[in-house]
Amino acid sequence: MARRLKIGITCYPSLGGSGVVATELGKLLAEKGHEIHFITHSVPFRLGQFHKNIFYHEVEVNDYYVFRYPPYDLSLASKMAQVAKMHKLDLLHVHYAVPHAVCAYLAKQMVGDQLRTVTTLHGTDITVLAQDESIKDMIRLGINQSDAVTAVSNDLIRETRDLLDIDKAIDLTYNFVDKRVYYPRDCASLRNDFVGKGEKILMHISNFRPVKRMNDVVDIFAKVLQKVPSRLLLVGEGPDLPKIQHKVRSMGIEDKVHFLGKQDDVAHVISIADLMLLPSEKESFGLVALEAMACGVPTIGSIAGGIPELVTNGETGYLSPIGDTDDMANNAIKLLQNERLYQQFREACLYRARNQFCNELITAEYERIYYRVLGIEANIPVPVCE
Ligand code: GMT
């Protein structure tokens, strides 16, 4: 192995795909022998068991009485600098540009140029926040001052360039799944808790934000229900939850829709589904569709952001224009009513997830970027995914 690196990782530890990717990446790097220091406001929710190469540093915010708004960003930057000095970190890898890229830049000012910074753009940090003129220049500064920038799809790279007028090279690093965790689980009894004989399960997992188009999720399901006996399982919580609960009641389908709230054991939950619904307005990648793919569950989704780079239309799922719930419902019905076609899609899902988005492949890509910004020659072979 090339030199063992000391890496600080900052992310939103308790929600969203960016936190999941950052935490899983840290765990995989630690398994490969690198020393990983999570610098976050709480313990990342997917951190799991103790590992000798993983350290956790809590960011404590100073809420001195003159502060109307306790300055989290400054506390984070200070903590990054302290940890970097104390543990002689090689680099800080921050996930989600706002405010983390700027905090890393500040930390570097305090520590010195030898500390390298890598920023991974995940989606709404660009597609939503970079549209806000009041913070746009700050996001651009954070990106331009990073030693390397990565984004989770080609579409996000394009959108970053368009919105922020950035020339800087941006590396593509797709989301990944750990194949030791995401594979089709045997969940017959869990499935039977929700469906009767012959019924199908449609599932949606998200943070119930407007970009997820939860109304479309329910509309697609209601249309499918007219043709195929089925249930809708909604996993997650967020601002649109009350609105959706009301919609489900007003449509009179509340006995067919199950609200499961937040769930940690996503691989088991997904394994009971027949289809994943992802009709988002914006979606830089769609980690949940990849998790579903790895469990052999095709996605019915929208042609939005990076989803088409993940879901191969007509092979591992079907994609329709944003808002076209008729087309999405028809595609779902086609798959659910044709067992042979469904099995083909399932096989294609398993193959694609394992071969294109496996943990070894993407972890090696991140390592290559780390060694490059540090100016260390390292031959990281392209792993063979099996
Ligand atoms: O899905 C979300 O809204 C959460 C968000 C986040 O920042 O955690 O997810 C973003 O990052 C994920 C990991 O890279 C991507 O898979 C999601 O597509 C992306 N979400 C959006 O672009 C809306």
Q: Please report, for the chain, the start and end positions of each structural domain, with discontinuous segments joined by +.
A: 6-176+358-374, 188-356
Mean pLDDT (the chain) is 95
Q: What is the pLDDT of residue 184?
A: 95
Q: Which residue has the higher pLDDT, 381 or 54?
A: 54
Asked whether the predicted pLDDT for residue 237 surpasses 90, the reply is yes
Residues constituting the chain: 386
**If we measure between CA atoms, which residue out of 375, 356, 262, 360 comes closest to residue 316?**
356
CA of 121 relative to ligand 1 center, distance in Å: 10
Range 159-168 average pLDDT: 94
CA of 1 relative to ligand 1 center, distance in Å: 32
Q: What is the pLDDT of residue 176?
A: 97
Q: Which residues contact 132 (CB under 8 A, 6 or more apart)?
A: none
DSSP 157-183: HHHHHHHH---S-EEE----B-TTTSS
- Cα dihedral across residues 308, 314, 315, 317: positive or negative: positive
Cβ contact 282:305 at 8 Å: yes
| Ligand 1: nearest atom to the Cα of 16 | 8
Asked whether the predicted pLDDT for residue 144 surpasses 70, the reply is yes
Q: Which residue has the higher pLDDT, 196 or 49?
A: 196
CA of 122 relative to ligand 1 center, distance in Å: 6
- Map tokens 């960003």 to a residue: 73
Provide the 10 A C-beta neighbour count for residue 203. 26
Residues near ligand 1 with C-beta < 6 Å? 16-19, 21, 96, 122-124, 152, 175, 207, 209, 211, 282-287
**Helical packing angle, 287-294 and 339-356, nearest 10°:** 110
Architecture of the domain spanning 6-176+358-374 = 3-Layer(aba) Sandwich (3.40)
**What pLDDT, in 10s, does the model give residues 253-310?**
999 999 999 998 899 999 999 999 999 999 999 999 999 999 999 999 999 999 999 9
| Ligand 1: nearest atom to the Cα of 306 | 18
Q: What's the CATH number for 188-356?
A: 3.40.50.2000
Provide the 10 A C-beta neighbour count for residue 376. 12
Fold match between 6-176+358-374 and 188-356?
yes
Cβ contact 299:317 at 8 Å: yes
CA of 337 relative to ligand 1 center, distance in Å: 31
**What pLDDT, in 10s, does the model give residues 324-363?**
999 999 999 999 999 999 999 999 999 999 999 999 999 9
- Work out the pLDDT band at 21, boundaries 50, 70, 90: very high
Measured torsion, CA atoms of residues 368, 369, 371, 372, in degrees rounded to the nearest 10: 110
| Ligand 1: nearest atom to the Cα of 285 | 18
Asked whether the predicted pLDDT for residue 1 surpasses 70, the reply is no
Cα–Cα distance measured from residue 44 to residue 197, given in angstroms and rounded to the nearest whole number: 39
DSSP 216-282: HHHHHHHHHHTTS-EEEEEE---TTHHHHHHHHHHTT-TTTEEEEE--S-HHHHHHT-SEEEE--S-
CA of 256 relative to ligand 1 center, distance in Å: 28
- Work out the pLDDT band at 188, boundaries 50, 70, 90: confident
**If we measure between CA atoms, which residue out of 277, 235, 231, 236 comes closest to residue 254?**
231
- Work out the pLDDT band at 369, boundaries 50, 70, 90: very high
